[in-house]
Amino acid sequence: MFTSQVDMKMVLEINKSLRDHHMLSEIHTYSGCATCGLRLMRKNNEDINMILDIIQDYLDTKWMKVSLNTYDEEMLYINSKFE
């Protein structure tokens, strides 16, 4: 089982990065708990691969990676690249 490794500051920074790339989509925590994973709220059918690339570019500086839940593409996990 995956557990997300982000804090609220990182959620805000990822959302800012998405906005900087003119994306309307955002990520949110589940019930205020980032360890449970993150929820991707896609807007205007924005390309999920582009969104993931932007998130990954941010995470590369922190030795982390983003992955999608196999059964629910709104659910994201952020993990160490060493897992």
What whole-number distance in Å separates Cα of residue 70 and Cα of residue 47?
17
pLDDT at 78 over 90: no
Amino acid identity, position 73:
E
DSSP alpha helices (H): ranges in 1-83? 8-20, 48-60
Q: For residue 24, what is the DSSP state?
A: -
User: Structure tokens of 65?
Assistant: 């990676």
pLDDT at 63 over 70: yes
Q: For residue 61, what is the DSSP state?
A: T
> What would you measure as the largest C-alpha separation in the chain, in angstroms?
34
The pLDDT-based confidence of 1 (bands split at 50, 70, 90) is very low
Per-residue pLDDT of 8-58, as tens digits, reads: 888 999 999 999 999 999 999 876 666 667 899 999 999 999 999 999 999
Give the pLDDT of residue 32. 63
User: Structure tokens of 56?
Assistant: 């990954």
